[in-house]
Amino acid sequence: MKQDVLVKPIGKITLPKVKNVLIAQPRPEGLKSPYFDLAAKYKLKIDFFQFIQLESVPSGTFRKSRINPISFASVIFSSKSAADHFFRMCDELRVKMPESTKYYCMTESIALYLQKYILYRKRKVFFGDGTTKSFFAAIEKHHTGESYLLPCSDNGSPEISNYLKSKNYNYTEAVVYIAAIKDVKKEVKINEYDMVVFFSPTGVNSLFHNFPKFKQGSIRVGAFGPATSKAIVDAGLRLDLSAPAPGSPSMTMAIEQYLINK
């Protein structure tokens, strides 16, 4: 039997060919997904296990923040989860966003997702290509001195907040959901994977909570977003791939580039 091709040595660690990939997110709905295309193209086995659980902030708790969503001219979404929990909160508060509200989304996918909640054609929706550079460029292009509301988790959205702060823009963070560690140790056999990809700092924390003796060894570790990348490095792990990046605005593109180059 032909042995697997060894693709890259790091010190004394030899990294085998990537065959089994763990994506620390829920499995995509439906039959179409870039992840499924990637699996078919490169003969990968891709599993999906969310390492965190998103808990809604009760409307009573949110009211204590004295944030009125309709008092903001623009709303910024960095994820579909932020959109889900924001509009859920609006429903609970019996608040209907004005048609004049502008929406800024990190990606086109998030922008199109808003059709679940708004009449898309009658709203002003702007988006980037998945990179913070293009996203911030979209905000600057359409900025008219308005106020921004940034729905987020209890961990916030530091990249976006730092940007808005650097520009002296009037913005407010609205915590609409909490990212909590999820118990996955009974479902996930972490050492069976050649690559594990995370999408939040909480997901990285969950890794060590579930597997306190985890040693990376030959497991490739990927991250989506600067905050997640920093969490991986701060945890003493080797960051093998990340997105968004030039030429790889999505995680699937970053994984494909890694497979091609390694």
For residue 194, give every residue at least 6 positions away whose Cβ sits within 8 Å of its Cβ, in sequence order, or none: 15, 16, 17, 18, 19, 20, 21, 218, 219, 220
Does one domain contain both 99 and 159?
yes
**Domain identity same for 107 and 144:** yes
Q: How many CB atoms lie within 10 A of CB 45?
A: 12
Q: How far is CA 193 from the centre of its chain?
A: 21
Per the domain annotation, does 25 fall within a domain?
A: yes
Q: What is the pLDDT of residue 225?
A: 83
Instruction: With residue 180 as reference, give the H or E element that holds it.
Output: strand 171-181
Please give the Cα distance from 67 to 3 (Å, whole number): 60
Same domain, 44 and 64: no
Residue 151's beta-bridge partner residues?
Answer: 174
Q: How far apart are the first and last CA of the chain?
A: 23
Listed residue (110, 102, 115, 108) closest to 129, CA to CA: 108
pLDDT of 2 reads 35
pLDDT in tens, 110-136: 999 999 999 876 679 999 877 788 899
Q: Which of 148, 230, 158, 237 is nearest to 196 (CA)?
A: 237
Low-confidence ranges of the chain (pLDDT < 70): 1-14, 121-122
Q: What is the pLDDT of residue 122?
A: 61
The three-class DSSP label of residue 20 is strand
Planar angle of CA 86, 124, 29, nearest 5 degrees: 50
Residue 79's CB: how many other CB atoms inside 10 A?
22
Q: Is 1 within a domain? A: no
The pLDDT value recorded for residue 33 is 87
**Of 178, 196, 222, which one is at a domain's C-terminal end?**
178
Look at residue 82 in the predicted model and tell me its pLDDT.
94
CATH number at residue 239: 3.40.50.10090
Domain boundary among 178, 206, 230: 178
Residues 235 and 170 occupy one common structural domain: no
Q: Domain count of the chain?
A: 2
pTM of the model: 0.76
Which domain covers residue 200, as residue numbers?
6-51+182-261
- Supply the pLDDT for residue 106: 87
